[in-house]
Amino acid sequence: MAAVETTGSGARTIDWSSDEFKKRRSRRYAADRRLQYYGIAAIATALGLLAILITSLVMTGYTAFTQTMVSVQITLDDERIDRNDVFGANWRNIVRDAFKAATPGLETADERAYFAMFTNNAPFLVRDRVVADPRLVGTTVTFTIPMADPVDQLAKGQIDRSTPESQRRVSDQQIAWFDGLAQQGMISRPFNTGLFFNADSRFPELAGLAGAISGSFWALMVCFFISFPCGIAAAIYLEEFAPKNKLTDLIEVNINNLAAVPSVVFGLLALAVFIGWFNMPRSIPLVGGLALALMTLPTIIIVTRASLKSVPSSIREAALGIGASKHEVIMHHILPLAMPTILTGTIIGLAQALGETAPLLLIGMNAFITSPPAGILEPATALPTQIFIWADSPERGFVSRTSAAILVLLGFLITMNAIAIFLRQRFERRW
């Protein structure tokens, strides 16, 4: 403001209550409030986006936690199934006849459309169960079989019955058949256990996360058993033993920079070194876990060093004073006291590794694999890569599966973080 009031003789006095100054004050306060509103708006935007993110995932994903099933009675008579060769029976016809019996008056020309309502793999599901329990032959058993994806969506109301027939994926006739089955009480919609116990499949109604979850588990195990001991050992050396010289400085700079290297570069490293040079197979959790371990290592080293530093020196000196060696001081006193913080940091690092996708894509953990891996040397997918595969699938049914898989992944992450927070609050010492 240019105007400065001068009244009286010589002495500058300001009439703070004049209109001009009132205006000026209110302008300044308004600017202050505006800044505050910008801040509130920014936070509201960020939290709003978080809310939209979560809501949209839940809204598209929750339907995948149930699966429309049809309960159908199948007669496993001796004429059609040889007890000595249960596997070789004509399961396709057996199952189809059972389906046909559920809708009387089915025209031969319609059979194709009718059978398309049930999952394509129904004969194999029935076969596998009878092969596992051959005593079923000769009895009539009620099988609960998943409905195909379009019918599943119809049952869940995701396909609007009022849209013209040409624009929806189930025909009027299929709807009529479905309603007929529903009237007979054959349709149910239980919790989708297949989502957790099936491996991947080309058919959305059969696709599950078992393979991805166990793949992620093995990769995380490899990651943990390498990065945890190695990270702690490196941190102890750098914090307690390392002399201050150029070499240790180099190591420290290195660790800080590694923590900020893009994850895709670790994928390139794993691809070139482990697969290219060492000839390890593609798609296996061992290679994925190694890449994740190298990524997690800097995090664990940094966390461990911070927690070693926070143990008060009185403990160190007391132990040294009664004759413990330096190693004994660390192994018997410092490390146990620092362990809760180290574990907290490790769990958070592992949670990050669990959500990491790019390095796993590069080493081929995005293959189509229909059985869960039994170990670290078998091809596998991981949870995030499974999400990526499903998100890329053209079938509509995979949209809700993808969201459901994301909710499962977020569930694991929340659990891990909750454990970390619990550890911190329960066991961490404040000195």
Partner 1 sequence: MVSYAFALILLLTLVAYFAARRQASVVGRSVGASMHSRPTYHGFNAAIWACAPPLIIVLVWVLFQDAVINRMILGLFDADRIAAMSSAERSLLISEIRQLAAGRQFGTPGEDLLAAAQTLNGWTWLAHVSMVVIVGVIGALGLVLGVRAIAPRYRARHSVELSLNIFMVFCSFVAVFTTIGIIASLVFESIQFFMRVPASEFFFGTRWEPQIPIRADQVAGSGAFGAIPVFVGTFVIATIAMVFAVPIGLMSAVYLTEYADVRVRSVVKPLLEILAGVPTVVYGFFAVLIVAPLIRDFGTGLGLSVAPRSALAAGGVMAIMLIPFISSLSDDALAAVPRALREGSYAMGATKGETIRKVLLPAALPGIMGGILLALSRAIGETMIVVMAAGLIASMNINPLDSVTTVTVQIVTLLIGDTAFDNPKTLSAFALGLMLFIITLFLNVIALSIVRKYREKY
Residue 193 or 325 having the CB closest to partner 1: 325
Which one of residues 14, 52, 101, 418 is an interface residue with partner 1 (CB under 8 A)? Answer: 52
Least spacing, CB of residue 421 vs partner 1, in Å? 10
Other CB atoms within a 10 A radius of the CB of residue 159 amount to 18
Residue with tokens 């079938």: 395
154 binds partner 1 (CB under 8 A): no
The answer to whether the beta carbons of residues 332 and 324 sit under 8 Å apart is yes
Least spacing, CB of residue 355 vs partner 1, in Å? 3
String marking each residue 175-214 x if it binds partner 1 according to CB under 8 A: ----------------------------------------
Which one of residues 271, 306, 315, 320 is an interface residue with partner 1 (CB under 8 A)? Answer: 271
362 binds partner 1 (CB under 8 A): yes
Nearest partner of 379 among 353, 407, 360, judged by Cα: 360
123 binds partner 1 (CB under 8 A): no
288 binds partner 1 (CB under 8 A): no
**Near partner 1 by CB under 8 A, which window of 87-95, 166-174, 211-219, 252-260?**
252-260
The answer to whether the beta carbons of residues 191 and 66 sit under 8 Å apart is yes
The answer to whether the beta carbons of residues 125 and 201 sit under 8 Å apart is no
Residue 54 or 101 having the CB closest to partner 1: 54
Least spacing, CB of residue 258 vs partner 1, in Å? 6
Which one of residues 257, 313, 370, 425 is an interface residue with partner 1 (CB under 8 A)? Answer: 257
Nearest partner of 219 among 401, 419, 412, judged by Cα: 412
Residue 99 or 218 having the CB closest to partner 1: 218
264 binds partner 1 (CB under 8 A): yes
Residue 53 or 176 having the CB closest to partner 1: 53
**Near partner 1 by CB under 8 A, which window of 49-57, 84-92, 215-223, 313-321?**
49-57
Residue 41 or 131 having the CB closest to partner 1: 41
What gap in Å lies between CA 246 and CA 62, rounded to an integer?
56
Q: How far is CA 285 from the centre of its chain?
A: 16
| DSSP 8-state code for residue 164 | -
**Near partner 1 by CB under 8 A, which window of 119-127, 143-151, 165-173, 270-278?**
270-278
| Token pair belonging to 5 | 């009031």
| DSSP 8-state code for residue 147 | B
The answer to whether the beta carbons of residues 288 and 382 sit under 8 Å apart is yes
Query: Is the dihedral angle over the CA atoms 57, 61, 63, 65 positive or is it negative?
Result: negative
What gap in Å lies between CA 67 and CA 421, rounded to an integer?
35
Q: What is the largest CA-CA distance in the chain?
A: 124
230 binds partner 1 (CB under 8 A): yes
List binders of partner 1 among 307-346 (CB under 8 A).
325, 327
Pairing state between β 187-188 and 69-75: antiparallel
Residue 154 or 236 having the CB closest to partner 1: 236
Strand partners, 146: 69
70 binds partner 1 (CB under 8 A): no
Residue 55 or 140 having the CB closest to partner 1: 55
Residue 148 or 420 having the CB closest to partner 1: 420
42 binds partner 1 (CB under 8 A): yes
The answer to whether the beta carbons of residues 301 and 235 sit under 8 Å apart is yes
